[in-house]
Structure 1
Amino acid sequence: MTTEHTPTPATAPLSTLITADLLRGALDLERTAHGVLPHRLPASARAQNVDGQLAMAESQPSGVRLAFRTRATVVELDTLPTKRVYVGAPPRPDGVYDLLVDGRLARQASATGGNTLTIDMTAGSAEHRPGPSSTLRFAGLPERLKDVEIWLPYNETAELVALRTDALVEPIPDRGRKVWLHHGSSISHGSDAASPTATWPALAASLGGVDLINLGLGGSALLDPFTARALRDTPADLISVKTGINLVNADLMRLRAFTPAVHGFLDTIREGHPTTPLLVVSPILCPIHEDTPGPSAPDFSSVSEGRLRFVATGDPAERAGGKLTLGVIRDELARIVEQRAADDPNLYYLDGRDLYGEADFAELPLPDELHPDAATHRRMGERFADRAFAAGGPFGDGA
């Protein structure tokens, strides 16, 4: 049974029930023994999933934020995090909560305590240990009516236990902004970004003036049909799908299966969004897998130096048998989009190397050979906004 420590005496005496109308970026809200748990996949999708990695990823609230209007100068949030520990790997940093006032970053905090999920990648096992909840206190906020957002950490599960303020809160009225629905891998999920508002999709959404729903799912952009149905059934004005790296990581399928799977994924999205601008984005540069198939595997030889690296374990000669590499995937995605665009004028393609390519790798190499660092997230967000949201882009004013 999880024990929760008692919060310090609050100067925020008004308690507000956390409901769906105070949350953005989540597709479902589960009531738990402690409070509520935001999910980024609906219950119907979760019921069909048998993969622990995906279950963990979708429960990590990348892009999910509490959003309310208030005159409060003090906001307190009780949260029960679940933090990951990888056996043999360096400790992971605590997740960051970003508090925004009228769209500008005003405070940051991290939750202590919480549950621990210890993962042994070599053995393929995981152990869950319960822990106490934590109170985040944001004080000294401006004494005026304002819009407050608390962006939840992208890299740890966060059960929301209680919300307290020293003034009433209400949902933020609809601002008429377009909703951008994005799906991708751990890079879209957040990987090693500085904070939840600094992932490349969050940065791009801010620059593009849109509301983000981020279905970046670490290790799990695998063309699953239930993910396609979640995209199909989620109201959105703009949609993007970034796919490829996880298919190579997992060595999940061959070219023969990849092509119809991509068609089926796009067909399903189009069932719910027949004319919505839909952008297909291929993988960013990742040298270990450009011409070498997967699977990827952790290389623990650098752990003593405080870092973990990944290596590609496939053989380039296996491409002849249909094994996937990033080069193969980019060529096929470009061909598929060109073929479909003849009958779908709202379908677009973006080469991921336009977001991060060879020159970028020379300047900002991938620290673990797979995931970008915080500076690269910023660069990718700015470039995506420039290519997608600018006038003439697939998500530009005419979209």
Structure 2
Amino acid sequence: MTEWITIPIDMRILRGALELERTAHGVLPHRLPAAARRQFPDESLARTEAQPSGVRLSFRTRATAVELDVLPTKRAYQGGPPQPDGLYDLVVDGRPAGQGSVPGGNLTTIDMATQAAVTRPGEPGTLRFSGLAAEVKDVRIWLPQVEVTELIALRTDAPVEPVPDEGRRVWLHHGSSISHGSTAAGPTATWPALAAARGGVELINLGFGGNALLDPFTARAIRDTPADLISLKIGINIANTDSMRLRTFAPAVHGFLDTVREGHPGTPLLVVSPILCPIQEDTPGPVVPDLQAPKLLFRAIGDPAEAARGRLTLNVIRETLARITAQRATDDPNLHYLDGRALYGEADYAELPLPDELHPAPAGHQRIGERFAELVFEDEHGPFGALRTESSP
């Protein structure tokens, strides 16, 4: 009979979250702090930031078995097919070692047209991994990237201790649903998680599906979070929500960067423009589901002619971001720019098309993660490369 030890779940063994909220059941990881959450304009962002993309339990132990009690909140779309259960990825000493899911839990049904949601309460469940080697090892349990997960109890059959930092750099990344990993195969298969593994860094993923909108509270959260490397993927949500015009977009980018720099004046900072998305390259938003299509497809419904009057397309956004970063880099040598089409461009679209015309398939996440690692981490002169960061002030 297994003799279980109950392990306190706190920030000593939780990576990738900015804050833990006490709940009636346990604790809920948040990727934005309470001060930011008080300023949310709607429930969409509240749901999104509580989905623990990049959040993982991390500890060192001789345990051969681990149990985790959780209360998941699954999502479904009104009129759409059921969504699969979220996946938990087990990684031992840096290598994949298992995968599981927890059935049941709460169910939130979302109206895609209005984003209104109704939640039906459910019961907690238990995730179990067993048969682990009885030797000292570093264990990480990555939480489902698109499934809100209340953590109730962690049990092991041997004591645990936090994994020491051992000099690993912390990379904080902010972006949209693609960075969030809404269509990735699992929590370690989002492109930021793949790039972080290759880059040998600790990831904080502030990718928020539909909500990379240059919000000031997000900039303040980044400003106040310790990080050695920061990247900001800007533009796609602003285009597909049609939320800004060129007149407001450019100052908003400057303001976001100014705020980040208040807390990170010399940190390597990379601005990344959108990957290729043909429906929005030269057509402004908003982007809406194509209700006549036999499967989920998105289309942009703006008038291309209005780009001349300040409505934003992806090409306009890229030109603006390149200009802003070049201008600022004269006084900020640790500010860099990467055209997102270097991560996923026309040739990639031909080989690995966007299934819904907006989000990459799992193979697309793999491609983007590999490219980011090659261009940003592994090129010694790249924005986060060894020679670049060692010479940074």
Please, what TM-score do these two structures have when normalized by structure 2? 0.97
1:394 aligned onto 2:383 = yes
CA distance in 1, matches of 2:360, 2:3: 39
Alignment-derived partner of residue 124 in structure 2: 133
CA distance in 2, matches of 1:197, 1:360: 22
Unaligned runs of 5+ in 2: none
What displacement does 1:12 show? 5.2
What displacement does 1:11 show? 2.9
What displacement does 1:90 show? 2.7
- Where do 1:1-399 residues align within 5 Å? 11=2, 13-303=4-294, 307-390=295-378, 391-398=380-387, 399=389
Deviates more, 1:222-231 or 1:121-130: 121-130
Q: Matched residue of 1:256: which SS?
A: helix
Q: Matched residue of 1:333: which SS?
A: helix
Q: 1:67 to 1:12 in 2, by over 3 A?
A: farther
CA distance in 2, matches of 1:15, 1:290: 52
CA distance in 2, matches of 1:12, 1:83: 31
CA distance in 2, matches of 1:246, 1:343: 28
Give the alignment's Cα RMSD to 1 decimal: 1.0
CA distance in 1, matches of 2:335, 2:80: 41
Q: Matched residue of 1:198: which SS?
A: coil
Contact kept, 8 Å, 1:79 with 1:135, in 2: the verdict is yes
Q: Matched residue of 1:89: which SS?
A: coil
Contact kept, 8 Å, 2:110 with 2:117, in 1: the verdict is yes
Q: Would you say how many aligned residue pairs link Structure 1 and Structure 2?
A: 387
Contact kept, 8 Å, 1:189 with 1:199, in 2: the verdict is yes
Measured against aligned partners, the alpha-carbon deviations of 1:340-389 in whole angstroms (never above 9, x if no partner) come to 00000000000000000000000100000100010010110010000001
**Structure 2: which amino acid aligns with 1:330?**
R
What displacement does 1:249 show? 1.2
CA distance in 2, matches of 1:88, 1:179: 41
Contact kept, 8 Å, 2:44 with 2:115, in 1: the verdict is no
Contact kept, 8 Å, 2:16 with 2:54, in 1: the verdict is yes
Measured against aligned partners, the alpha-carbon deviations of 1:301-360 in whole angstroms (never above 9, x if no partner) come to 345xxx311111111011122100100000000000000000000000000000000000
Please, what TM-score do these two structures have when normalized by structure 1? 0.95
**Structure 2: which amino acid aligns with 1:14?**
I
CA distance in 2, matches of 1:326, 1:12: 57
Deviates more, 1:276-285 or 1:173-182: 173-182
Alignment-derived partner of residue 6 in structure 1: none
Q: 1:178 to 1:302 in 2, by over 3 A?
A: same
Unaligned runs of 5+ in 1: 1-9
Q: Matched residue of 1:197: which SS?
A: coil
What displacement does 1:106 show? 0.1
What displacement does 1:123 show? 4.2
CA distance in 2, matches of 1:123, 1:48: 20
Q: Percent identity?
A: 70
CA distance in 1, matches of 2:77, 2:180: 18
CA distance in 1, matches of 2:224, 2:3: 38
